[in-house]
Amino acid sequence: MSVAIITGSAGLIGSEAAAYFAGQGLEIVGIDNDMRRTFFGDEATTRPNVDRLRASLPHYTHHDVDVRDTAAIDAIFARYRESIALVIHTAAQPSHDWAARAPLTDFTVNANGTLTMLDATRRFAPEAVFLFTSTNKVYGDRPNALPLIEQETRWEIAPGHPYAGGISEDMPIDATLHSVFGASKVAADVLVQEYGRYFGMRTACFRGGCLTGPNHSGTELHGFLSYLMKCTVTGTPYAVFGYKGKQVRDNIHSHDLIRAFDAVFRNPRSGEVYNIGGGRTSNCSMLEAIALSQEIAGRELDWHYVDEHRIGDHIWWISDLRHFQEHYPDWQLEYDVPAILGEIAAAGRERWLPAKAGVR
């Protein structure tokens, strides 16, 4: 049986990928030491997902291992060697704010951890497909220099601009403010490209916008739509930071992203980079997301505005999906923002409401 090694296997994308590729007949080897709990507190723990994967997937093996532990990672790869057909590296420290407080941890998790995974793949399973969840933050704050127009509920790019359909991979990454998090992901992203081009490995970087879905354990520092819906449903206060609440994000459902992973797995290339997100199909501003969340939850959100944006935050981001779709024309998005929020609310009520007695 072919093996898929998935880091961050108990997180949103990792757990969804584990279930999907198990359904495709692969044995799943999960690596996740619940550092999300360290980053964001008990509410962000991924332990329930580990239990779910163990219970639901007969060919799932879990390793409570840190991706920076070279000896432990090597031991896992040495066990399976040429049976490894796919490596999906989703483990990361994902927050701007957390990275600024602990830059050494952020860099070693994001950059060193990626290098550990790449080199283990090169030495033990060089024919495996290596997929990396990068981020649009590799572009730093350069998108904020785009000619944006203020509308009633959102910022929007000028009509006729080359990026009117979304930001493509030709946007430069130099001479911008990245945030510490963005810089560590740049290092990892470039390593993944280099192992593809220099060593001929079959690698791909997915520079994601907002990755989301019903199994997301959203927190204030990470997980925009999930945390917003949680606050709306439970009556928890919510803060909007800067840009008049009109900052725009595209949002891609985990299901759509993993279908993109599968497309690359079935027809891999070397050293590829793809901007991936909701594109023009699935995007919203903060104000628009609040309105949708209130409509779905049937109650008002207790929110307030903070007139200070987060460092490195984008005013407007919509991914141009054309490069990926040129390579994989059968792939199309199946979810938009209302559908995503509806699923998050339906799945979340059972988890959230018991902790908020009296909330209905």
Q: How far is it, in rounded angstroms, from Cα 243 to Cα 231?
A: 21
- Give the pLDDT band (50/70/90) at residue 147: very high
Q: How far is it, in rounded angstroms, from Cα 205 to Cα 15?
A: 19
**148: which 2 tokens?**
């944006």
Lowest mean pLDDT, pick from 93-102, 152-161, 212-221, 245-254:
212-221
**Helix (H), strand (E), coil (C) string for the chain:** CCEEEEECCCCHHHHHHHHHHHHCCCEEEEECCCHHHHHHCHHHCCHHHHHHHHHHCCCEEEECCCCCCHHHHHHHHHHHHHHEEEEEECCCCCCHHHHHHCHHHHHHHHHHHHHHHHHHHHHHCCCCEEEEEEEHHHHCCHHHHCCEEECCCCEEECCCCCCCCCECCCCCCCCCCCHHHHHHHHHHHHHHHHHHHHHCCEEEEEEECEEECCCCCCECCECHHHHHHHHHHHCCCEEEECHHHCCEEEEEEHHHHHHHHHHHHHCCCCCEEEEECCCCCCEEEHHHHHHHHHHHHCCCCCEEEECCCCCCCCCECCECCHHHHHHCCCCCCCCCHHHHHHHHHHHHHHHHHHHCCCCC
Per-residue pLDDT, 360: 40
- Residue 228 pLDDT exceeds 60: yes
Per-residue pLDDT, 220: 72
| pLDDT tens column, 27-77 | 999 999 998 877 877 776 878 889 999 999 999 999 999 999 999 999 999
Could you give the percent of the chain with pLDDT greater than 90? Answer: 83
Per-residue pLDDT, 359: 42
Q: How far is it, in rounded angstroms, from Cα 83 to Cα 102?
A: 37
| pLDDT tens column, 204-220 | 999 998 999 887 766 67
- Greater pLDDT, 271 or 351: 271
What domains appear along the chain, each with residue ranges and CATH number?
3-354 (3.40.50.720)
Per-residue pLDDT, 354: 64
| pLDDT tens column, 5-31 | 999 999 999 999 999 999 999 999 999
**229: which 2 tokens?**
């819906």
- Residue 356 pLDDT exceeds 70: no
Lowest mean pLDDT, pick from 129-138, 196-205, 208-217, 323-332:
208-217
Per-residue pLDDT, 241: 94
Q: Are 186 and 173 in contact (CB under 8 A)?
A: yes
Q: What is the mean pLDDT of residues 355-360?
A: 45
Lowest mean pLDDT, pick from 118-122, 160-164, 211-215, 260-264:
211-215
- Residue 355 pLDDT exceeds 70: no
Closest CA to 340 of 164, 237, 154, 210: 210
Per-residue pLDDT, 352: 83
Per-residue pLDDT, 222: 65
- Greater pLDDT, 223 or 10: 10
